[in-house]
A and B are shown apart, each in its own frame.
Chain A
Amino acid sequence: MDKTVNQKAWFMLIPVLVLVGFSAVIPLMTVVNYSVQDTFGQNVFFWAGTAWFEQILHSPRFWSALGRNLIFSGLILAIEVPLGIFVALNMPKRGIGVPFCLVFMALPLLVPWNVVGTIWQIFGRSDIGLLGWAVDAIGIDYNYVSDPVDAWITLIVMDVWHWTSLVVLLCYAALVSIPDAFYQAARIDGASRWSVFRYIQLPKIQHVLLIAVLLRFMDSFMIYTEPFVVTGGGPGNSTTVLSIDLVKMALGQFDLGPAAAMSLIYFLIILALSWVFYTVMTNHEARQ
């Protein structure tokens, strides 16, 4: 619809544009600047062209970190989305249970990242942590500091604990907006529990599900704090994801050029994957 137009409204955007300029565009440009130059300190720069990009793209260290990122995101999506839907389906729709459940669900979301890491870091320790001690006590040899598999399990369980609630809350909001008549009609039509989910609930939550998947993917792909706090990227390099590697390179080794090139590649990967996700899912919807 072309509404009656008032061009003056554009001026209202100025504050936002200034803010975005300072907070995003300028830093990003600085990174671009670093990525094509070499420096030996004292603010002296030499043109390096695409050398850093080539170096990063040919380094096995980058590809294995990227692989860890993809596996991590894939695993937590595969767990959090079905689990989130399942929990949302089983939450009460009305009554005194509702506010209780909502607060309970929202709690993990309120905990800051590094605190989550610290909590689990202690929780999982076999000497003073309840979880670590309990798992050890039932005879499983569990140690996230020395065993890569245990380290991964810890990170994934921690992320699931922290973020499944987000999927739950989004799905729950969509579920409660379905009018009762739909459930009543389905009961009368003799629909099974699965049919009700497949033909009423799933179609109604698929919009928010798309948003949930996107949010969780982007967020998990950029994960940093939790592995940093809990495992520090170890044991070995087994939990060194891109962001951790990036920090090691930029701040640990002070390789500003390669780090800048890597962060740009990282940024472009996230952008591209999000775009693919979004198009695939919206196309799927349009086809219906």
Chain B
Amino acid sequence: MLELERVTKIVGSQTHIHETDLAFETGTLNVLLGPTLSGKTSLMRLMAGLDRPTSGTVRFDGKDVTGLPVQKRSVAMVYQQFINYPAMTVYENIASPLRLAGADKATLDREVREAAELMRLTPFLDRTPLTLSGGQQQRTALARALIKKASLVLLDEPLVNLDYKLREELRAELPRIFSESGAIFVYATTEPSEALLLGGNTATLSEGRVTQYGPTVDVFRRPRDLLTARTFADPPLNTIDVVKRGDRFRIDEAVDLPVPERLRSAADGSYTVAFQPNHLALAPQTPEAVGLKAKVSVTEITGSETYVHLDFADVRWVMLAPGIHVLEIGETVEVYVDPRHTMLFASDGEAVRPGERLAA
């Protein structure tokens, strides 16, 4: 188990990581999700021992490893760039951590071939990395990280430099590979969809703070605050500021909405209502749904679905509608917010879920 206890990282006058507590169980996959410069890489460097935290403690399996340099820890790392030894064959690349550890020839050969098989590199063992495709190069780097049998494997946006389809394929294989290894995996990404595909647990990061940590789908469905919800939304989250009075959400003088049943018991006051693009539709999802008039700004067709960008009051919304919809720009359409999935946030950003205990 990897534990960060009140860890901070301050460089000069800049705080890279605000006080953070995190605990990753052995054998789990943990995603660090956040935009560029949100602190994902800084946090990983602290976990690896590449940097020393300004304050706080890093523990591994209960043992304090705070000042221990990376060479003395059991850590493997995979980067965005495909980092391999260009002059060695794929076989030698994969074998290199074992050679350093002084493994005997038979074990080494067996393990290299196993790792190669797992990463589908068997046909390329005799080639050098630069003659391979990007996907194969990154598989080689992954195989090298796995064969080390490190207790902590850190992956810093490992798929970002790969083609879309290759990314999709490797991404689908990764959870299986991870589950077979038994190490703690930490995977940094900027893409919410990648976090969802990988599953496991997710920690959302924003400006050097971990805003929430928990099972990935939980964090996605039940974000603790607006910041987490925004971080974990692609396309961007739709929001609207409202004032709750009894069973109505007032948007402005002219427009108000009924408060969905499950949110009725929240106190009156100012809130932010938020919902995902697929919870906005051109037809009512339930009898409770109420139509709002919005102006079409852009439509994007993906083949099976249509993203409709809408201007409502002074905010921009995105609707993800199944099927192909050809809508005129500037046209006013009636759209419906799915009352089953609306999220409510207090003015300080905290999620409001009456009758439900918030996930810690």
How many whole Å from B77's CB to the nearest CB in chain A? 15
Say yes or no for B50: interface residue by CB 8 A criterion. Answer: yes
Interface size classification for chain B:
under 10
A4 within 8 A of partner (CB) = yes
Closest chain A residue, CB of each to CB of B65: A4
Report the nearest A residue to B48, measured CB to CB: A4
Contact partners of A5 in chain B: CB under 8 A: 52, 67
Contacts of B70 on A, CB cut-off 8 Å?
A: 4
Whether B51 is near chain A, meaning CB under 8 Å from some CB there, is yes
CB neighbours of B11 from chain A (8 A): 1
B52 contacts A2, CB within 8 Å? yes
Q: Complex: how many Å from CA A6 to CA B50?
A: 13
- In the complex, the chain B residue whose C-beta lies closest to that of A6 is B69
B238 CB to nearest A CB, Å:
37
The 0/1 profile, CB within 8 Å of A marked 1, for residues 37-61 of chain B is 0000000000001111000000000
Cβ of B283 within 8 Å of any chain A Cβ, yes or no, is no
Closest A residue by C-beta to B51: A1
Q: Which of A42-64 contact B (CB under 8 A)?
A: none
Min Cβ gap B312→A in Å is 39
What B residues does A3 contact at CB under 8 A? Answer: 50-52, 69
Q: Which residue of A lies closest to B70 (CB)?
A: A4
Near A by CB (< 8 A), chain B positions 60-82 give 67-70
Question: CA separation between A4 and B11, bound complex, in Å?
Answer: 14
Taking CB atoms and an 8 Å cut-off, the chain A residues in 1-21 that contact chain B are 1-6
Please indicate the chain B residues that have their CB under 8 angstroms from the CB of A4 in the complex.
49-52, 67-70
Shortest Cβ gap from B322 to chain A (Å):
40
CA distance A1 to B41 in the complex (A): 13
Considering the complex, give the chain A residue whose CB is closest to the CB of B54: A2
Q: Scoring A residues 88 to 121 as 1 if CB is less than 8 Å from chain B, else 0, what string do you get?
A: 0000000000000000000000000000000000
Report Cα–Cα, A4/B54, bound state, in Å. Answer: 11
Most buried by B among A2, A4, A5, A6: A4
User: Once the chains bind, are A2 and B51 in contact (CB under 8 Å)?
Assistant: yes
A5 to B71, CA, bound (A): 12
Chain A nearest CB, measured from B257 CB (Å)? 49
Cα-based distance from A2 to B45 in the complex (angstroms): 12
CB-based nearest B residue for A1: B51
Residues from chain A with Cβ under 8 Å of B52 in the complex:
2-5
Please indicate the chain A residues that have their CB under 8 angstroms from the CB of B50 in the complex. Answer: 3-4
Report Cα–Cα, A3/B67, bound state, in Å: 9
What distance in Å separates the Cβ of A4 from its nearest Cβ neighbour in chain B?
Answer: 4
| Shortest distance from the beta carbon of B13 to any chain A beta carbon, whole Å | 15
Contacts of B49 in A (CB 8 A): 4
CB distance from A124 to the nearest CB of B (A): 49
Interface string of B313-337 (1 = CB under 8 A from A): 0000000000000000000000000
Distance between B72 CB and nearest chain A CB, rounded to angstroms:
9
Complex CA distance for A2 and B9, rounded to whole angstroms? 10
Distance of A3 Cα from B48 Cα, bound (Å): 11
Query: Within 8 Å CB of B68, what residues of A?
Result: 4
Residues of A within 8 A of B67 (CB): 4-5
Closest to A2 in B: B52
Rounded to whole Å, the gap between the CB of B240 and the closest CB of chain A is 41
| Residues on B with beta carbons closer than 8 Å to the beta carbon of A2 | 51-52
Least CB distance, B55 to chain A, in whole angstroms = 12
B-side contacts of A6, CB under 8 Å: 69
The distance in angstroms between the C-alpha atoms of A96 and B354, with both chains bound, is 75
| Bound form: Cα–Cα A205–B69 in Å | 37
CB neighbours of B69 from chain A (8 A): 3-4, 6
Separation in Å of the A2 CB from the closest CB of chain B?
6
B54 to chain A, nearest CB (A): 8
The docked-state distance in angstroms from the alpha carbon of A4 to that of B50 is: 7
Given the complex of chains A and B, what is the CA–CA distance between A5 and B50 in angstroms? 10
B179, chain A: closest CB distance, angstroms: 31
How distant is the Cα of A3 from the Cα of B11 in the complex, in angstroms?
11
Instruction: Tell me the minimal C-beta distance from A286 to chain B in angstroms.
Output: 16
Chain B residues 269 to 307 lying within 8 A of chain A, measured CB to CB, are none
Name the distance in Å between B14's Cβ and chain A's nearest Cβ.
12
Report Cα–Cα, A229/B223, bound state, in Å: 81
Indicate with 1 or 0, residue by residue over B144-176, a CB within 8 angstroms of chain A CB atoms. Answer: 000000000000000000000000000000000
**Nearest Cβ on chain A to B354's Cβ, whole angstroms:** 46
CA distance A231 to B70 in the complex (A): 61
- State in angstroms the CA–CA spacing of A27 and B352 once bound together: 78
A residues lining the B interface (CB < 8 Å)? 1-6
Binding site for A on B (CB under 8 A): 11, 49-52, 67-70
19 A-B residue pairs with CB within 8 Å = A1-B11, A1-B51, A2-B51, A2-B52, A3-B50, A3-B51, A3-B52, A3-B69, A4-B49, A4-B50, A4-B51, A4-B52, A4-B67, A4-B68, A4-B69, A4-B70, A5-B52, A5-B67, A6-B69
Given contacts A4-B70, A6-B69, 16 further A-B pairs with CB under 8 A are: A1-B11, A2-B51, A2-B52, A3-B50, A3-B51, A3-B52, A3-B69, A4-B49, A4-B50, A4-B51, A4-B52, A4-B67, A4-B68, A4-B69, A5-B52, A5-B67
Ranked 6 nearest A-B pairs via Cβ: A4-B69, A4-B52, A2-B52, A4-B67, A1-B51, A4-B49
